[in-house]
Amino acid sequence: MTRSDLVARVSEIYPYMSVKNVDRIVSIVIDSIVEALKNGNRVELRGFGSFSVRERESSEARNPRTGEKVLIGKKKVPFFKAGKQLKDLINGRIQNEER
């Protein structure tokens, strides 16, 4: 699902909201998650999962063209951990449950 697919789906569910407003809401949610991660915070969406930032240590790699060793410095990477409810839904373990 792409961002535009998400906007279209939410617009279908809430036809009284304009597509422009739905797009803005989706932007605000995504921007809020990104800003929290940039500030080193963890974002938890109950029943869905949590986003956090992990730090990768520096490592050594090789340039595939020349074979020369290249040092890759420390970097922060986003990490997502799926929640139990999401895992159960994907694996078909929860049936006929109202949301």
| C-alpha torsion sign, points 64, 66, 67, 68 | negative
Q: Are 50 and 81 in contact (CB under 8 A)?
A: yes
pTM of the model: 0.76
Q: Are 92 and 85 in contact (CB under 8 A)?
A: no
Segment 69-93, tens digit of pLDDT: 999 999 999 999 999 999 999 998 7
Segment 47-63, tens digit of pLDDT: 999 999 999 999 999 99
Domain definitions of the chain by residue range: 3-90
> What's the distance, Cα to Cα, between the start and end of the chain in Å?
21
Task: Identify the CATH number of the domain defined by range 3-90.
Answer: 4.10.520.10
Alpha carbon distance 13, 7 (integer Å):
10
Amino acid letter for position 47:
G
Amino acid letter for position 40:
G
